[in-house]
Chain A
Amino acid sequence: MKATCWMGKHNVEVRDVPDPQILNQSDAIVRITSTAICGSDLHLYNGFMPTMEKGDVLGHEFMGEVVEVGRSVQKLKVGDRVVVPFTIACGNCWQCRHENWSLCENSNPNAALAEKTMGHAASGAFGYSHLTGGFAGGQAEFARVLFADVGPLKVENGLSDEQVLFLSDILPTGYMGAEMCNIQPGDTVAVWGCGPVGLFAIKSAYLLGAERVIGIDRFDYRLEMARTKCGAETVNYEQVESVAETLKEMTAGRGPDACIDAVGLEAHGHGLAYMYDRSKQAVGLETDRPIAVREAIMACRNGGTVSIIGVYAGLVDKFPLGTLMNRSLTIRTGQCHVHRYMRPLLERIQNGEIDPTMVITHRLPLADAAKGYDLFVKKEDNCEKVVLRA
């Protein structure tokens, strides 16, 4: 089959690879109809995630049709149309039973590797390095889907691929980012990053009752999307002296009640702090550039919540622990527990409360995946979200 392979830093190729096989009896094989490139794929593309190997199949946002099921699969059958959550969860361990699906204790066969760097291992994930299990991803014609009775969401009604595809990751991730803010009436929520996850976080914050939502980015086309498609107020951080000061003024000195980091480890910024992080990261002294999360912590009102959904991989410098402690801030974070949100969000899509297709700017055939990565990483042609049709 054709699959998008990571061939090294800044190098992906659509190549012929072996078809996936049923390896566990709870597996299904899915023929992929639509898949997408995620902002977090760019961290792999840019070489910031360790344990990628040449030839690894990328992609963790995908959906399609079941073409084969393992012996123990009961709920899914050949022909079913499914959206697949990017985190892999067994459904039976203590964490799954407590709905902490991205912390599944059984789905990462490389847990030992992850334990060495993180202390404890999180769940497996599709197409996201060997640290999360070395599972082949879904920017391909076919994928092996583990625990087929637990993860995949059957979509039976007339909804299009584009309407439901993002239930695999970015819509639930944005939603969880807002949910973790525990939004109360009157709250102002600030969202760092107006990529697709940031936009869904903005939209979700309104759905969950926020009074005001402020989107922060440096690309005008993204800020424009935040305003017109999600109803946010916006701040272009390259055009203000200090984001924290700007937010303080916008909230009459209080600061946003909750701050969401939808940026992660490759944050950009200006000034000395950015140069400091950029150079330390370049020589490997720091794995992550925590500029957005630092700002979010500094800006948040006393006693407020900082919700981190941008991806981090390792270590950061100059983390403002003092302000976090002294100002009674709460940090909420985690890889999205996608399984928890798929069904309720499908209902919101059906009810017309949220239209996930609003983030799509580019549609390409799978064969042009490399072009999609290039557009997305360079933010060319106002690229917000690339969907690949297999």
Chain B
Amino acid sequence: MLHVTKSVTIHRTPEAVYRFWRDFSNLPQFMLHVRSIVTSGDRRSHWVVAAPAGQTVEWDAEIVEDRPAQQIAWRSLEGSDIQHEGVVRFEKAPADRGTEVHVEFRYDAPAGRAGAAIATLFGEEPTQQVRDDLRRLKQVMETGEVVRSDGSLEGAGQGASRQRAAEAPQSEVER
């Protein structure tokens, strides 16, 4: 069982952050390992998550609680390889500070290939990864897109978090 809670403050209203999150197809914009989420109907979604060695892990999820501008909770459907559930709360931050976003994720990885893939995926720092995801959510909400550095050309949301030199000299790129 992997259980992570993390939070971030975003300089937008709870309504705005809620609206963005409520459309689950937006989530891969900032969740590094989530390759795609396809929604069907109002509450169902199909998640494809990148796993090590080019593999993917997939599951279907359903929204189980939806309180506009306050909270969204979802969980994977029975029969999925991985039991995943998440809840995100949107709370007004003090004065003009915007919105506190509190997330809680659980992954129950049973035995077998999928379980091992999830364990490897999150490695030793699942909390840091969720923290980084929330930082990218903040960038998207406040600036419109994930901020990319020359030093992270692969960028976020496309499967890479490794940094390389700001600009490798041409000769070494060719090598």
Q: Which residues of A contact B (CB under 8 A)?
A: 3, 5, 15-18, 20, 23-26, 53-57, 72, 90, 92-94, 97, 105-107, 109-112, 124, 127, 130, 133-137, 144, 146-147
Contact = CB atoms under 8 A, between A and B. Distances in A.
Contact of A106 (B97, B142, B155): B142
B134 to A, nearest CB: 11
A124 B149 contact: yes
B152 interface: yes
A369 to B, nearest CB: 14
B153 A92 contact: no
B163 A110 contact: yes
B150 A94 contact: no
B167 A94 contact: no
B163 A130 contact: yes
A270 B151 CA distance: 40
A134 B11 contact: no
Contacts, number: 115
Interface string B90-101: 000000111000
Contact of B143 (A26, A53, A55): A26
Nearest to A57: B167
Majority secondary structure of chain B interface residues (helix, strand, loop or mixed):
loop
Interface residues of B, number: 35
Majority secondary structure of chain A interface residues (helix, strand, loop or mixed):
loop
Contacts of A24: 145, 147-148
Contacts of A54: 165
Contact of B166 (A15, A135, A146): A135
Interface of B: 9, 11, 96-98, 128, 131-132, 135, 138-139, 142-145, 147-153, 155-156, 163-173
A53 B165 CA distance: 6
9 contacts: A23-B148, A23-B155, A55-B172, A57-B166, A90-B147, A92-B11, A94-B11, A106-B143, A112-B135
B149 A134 contact: yes
Contact of B149 (A53, A97, A109): A109
A135 B169 contact: no
Contacts of A133: 149, 151
Nearest to B9: A94
B117 to A, nearest CB: 23
A57 B165 CA distance: 9
Q: Which 8 A-B pairs have the closest CB atoms?
A: A134-B151, A53-B165, A55-B165, A23-B148, A56-B166, A109-B149, A136-B150, A92-B142
